[in-house]
Amino acid sequence: NCWFVAAVAPLTLNNKALHRVVPKDQSFKENYAGIFHFRFWQYGHWVTVIVDDRLPTHKGKLIFMTSRQSDEFWSALLEKAYAKLNGSYQATAWGSTGEGLEDLTGGLWETFKINNLREKPTKLFRRMLQAQKRGSLMGCMLNTVDGEAKPIDGMGIIYRHAYSITCVKYIKAGTTKDIEKMRMIRVRNPWG
């Protein structure tokens, strides 16, 4: 479910959004009770979901969402709460990053298909800059005609894999005045 991982990843860049979903008042140390609570936006209001601290493992390793740090479990617990909200882990196997972002932020989401754009790419880029200034969380994915997940040569971007957009900005392409600014979008692979 890389779509959900890609929706969670931008939360780590926005503490206000993160702590709306993962309240700060809980840990494995202070007032530890073996349960954790999370908040999701559902049908026009915030819903609290409480889960215990037991996580599904196989041979001592987490089966679903993990962190790079072996002693960090908030993302796995968040995924467990989201699975509970939706009825099961299986129910969260497929989805879109936009749906995940909506459930995690309460905001609306838009999809832009680059090959069907009625506006110039420069206009879309300016819209993305404005969205970033407003604190919007963004993601992206490249679809293929044949549906096969394969890497793009030389870039490391994989078709049909969800990415978080972590920065949108203009970069000067050189040191002279006449050099045009390049439009740059930094993406993050939520799986590392």
Q: What is the pLDDT of residues 125-164, one digit of tens each?
A: 999 999 999 988 888 887 766 656 566 656 777 777 888 8
pTM over 0.85: no
* Rounded-to-integer distance, Cα 51 and Cα 69, Å: 21
169 SS3 class: strand
Does the annotation count 45 as an active-site position? no
Question: Choosing from 1, 2, 31, 58, which is the catalytic residue?
Answer: 2
116 SS3 class: helix
1 SS3 class: coil
Question: Choosing from 14, 37, 140, 189, which is the catalytic residue?
Answer: 189
Banded model confidence at residue 176, pLDDT cuts 50, 70, 90: low
Boundaries of every domain in the chain:
2-105, 114-188
182 SS3 class: strand
Does the annotation count 115 as an active-site position? no
Does the annotation count 161 as an active-site position? yes
In this structure, the strands spanning 61-62 and 163-172 are unpaired
CATH class of 114-188: alpha beta
pLDDT tens digits for range 3-46: 888 888 888 888 899 999 999 888 778 778 889 999 999 999 99
Residue 113 contacts by C-beta under 8 Å, 6 or more apart in sequence?
none
